[in-house]
Amino acid sequence: MNKVSLFLRRCLSLLLLTFTITSHGIAQRFEPRIVFASNHDGNWNGNWDIYSMDVNGDNLVQLTDHPGSDNHPSGSPDGKRITFTSRRGLTPDLYVMDSDGNDVIRLTQDNFGEARSSWSPDSRKIAFASFCKLNCDIFTVDANGANRTRVAEHEMQDVEPAWSPDGSKIAFVSAPNFGALDPRHIFVMNADGTERRNLTGDTNLKYNHNPSWSPDGRKIVFQSQRPFEGYDIYVITAEGKNLKQLTQEGNNRMPAYSPDGRKIAFASSREGDFNIYLMDTNGRNAVKLTATPPGTESISPSWLPSPLAVFPNGKLPTSWGVLKRSGNP
């Protein structure tokens, strides 16, 4: 047997081994997964837990099961861990767990209350918002909970950070206050807190939330609400130009670019309750991925771009009723 044939046989053997489901219950894949939150008890202010699924809605796995409300998951770029906010104490704190739901660690322990988080591109740090003193500011912390640092102290209320793919900038939402009619704009600043820029201040959009960077760092997708109407999803360049509306049907929130930049996951109530959808980056070809029981909601999608997804013993794929099956998007 010549060297070329031997090399090809070894490559084929490696591929077959990679896609094997072993006797220990470990499934290995090279596709990303989507993590999200669902309130399976049907109460918007009640018990939320974190779930994950394939990009076509298959292989649903419940990752947390706690009386406290677990919400706003964020998958690390290396695909190994997930941060989330949980009310397991008196105030919401930031937690981290392995991508299979094991080894849950509390990262923040204070009386301020933490909200939505975002990983640095190297998966070593986490940006989050903390309600301290009279303001809400953006902080960073190491993935093990050490070295909590305020990025910038500002008189505005700064929330919902999103780290840029190259790690040099952070997009976030800033508002003078959080009253019903207070404008909320998408800002970008350097990762050290300098050079704040308002991206949506010159648009007619005044109530903006949940920025998410495209993988190439050129665009930011976000949700915006017109007064007394529902939310829709928009995209704008990182320089604040070429604003485009992507959705027009129902109430659409919490967009998140896929790791390859070809899709956007989002939550929508276009068919009644909020469910997770997937669409092209131009807003077309929306596909419903979840079908939660009536009266329950699924929100806050985030991508887990791991080349290796694990279903450990005790956390095999589950179902809460009829899960929509669709072809690969």
Say how many Å lie between the first and final Cα of the chain, rounded.
Answer: 41
* Spans in the chain with pLDDT lower than 70: 1-30, 40-46, 111, 132-133, 180, 227, 306-329
Pairing of strands 105-106, 93-98: antiparallel
Task: Give the separation between CA 38 and CA 164, rounded to whole angstroms.
Answer: 27
Nearest CA-CA partner of 160 in 274, 250, 256: 256
pLDDT of residue 266: 98
User: Could you tell me which residues come within 8 angstroms of residue 283 by beta carbon, excluding any fewer than 6 positions away?
Assistant: 233, 245, 246, 247
Task: Give the separation between CA 311 and CA 201, rounded to whole angstroms.
Answer: 45
Task: Give the separation between CA 181 and CA 214, rounded to whole angstroms.
Answer: 29
Residue-wise pLDDT for 239-266, tens only, equals: 999 999 999 988 999 999 999 999 999 9
Residue type, 110: D
Strand partners, 76: none
CB 129 within 8 A of CB 159: yes
CB 326 within 8 A of CB 57: yes
pLDDT of residue 180: 67
What single DSSP character describes residue 99? T
pTM: 0.84
- Where do the domains of the chain lie? 31-304
Task: Give the separation between CA 167 and CA 170, rounded to whole angstroms.
Answer: 8
pLDDT of residue 282: 97
pLDDT of residue 307: 52
CB 268 within 8 A of CB 301: no
Task: Give the separation between CA 142 and CA 44, rounded to whole angstroms.
Answer: 31
Task: Give the separation between CA 71 and CA 37, rounded to whole angstroms.
Answer: 5
Task: Give the separation between CA 195 and CA 205, rounded to whole angstroms.
Answer: 22
pLDDT of residue 75: 97
pLDDT of residue 306: 65
**Would you state the structure tokens that stand for residue 132, as one six-digit string?**
């301290």
CB 49 within 8 A of CB 62: yes
Q: What is the CATH number of domain 31-304?
A: 2.120.10.30
**Would you state the structure tokens that stand for residue 56, as one six-digit string?**
């076509």
Task: Give the separation between CA 145 and CA 95, rounded to whole angstroms.
Answer: 9
Query: Phi and psi (nearest 5°) for 3?
Result: -65, -35
**Would you state the structure tokens that stand for residue 150, as one six-digit string?**
């305020």
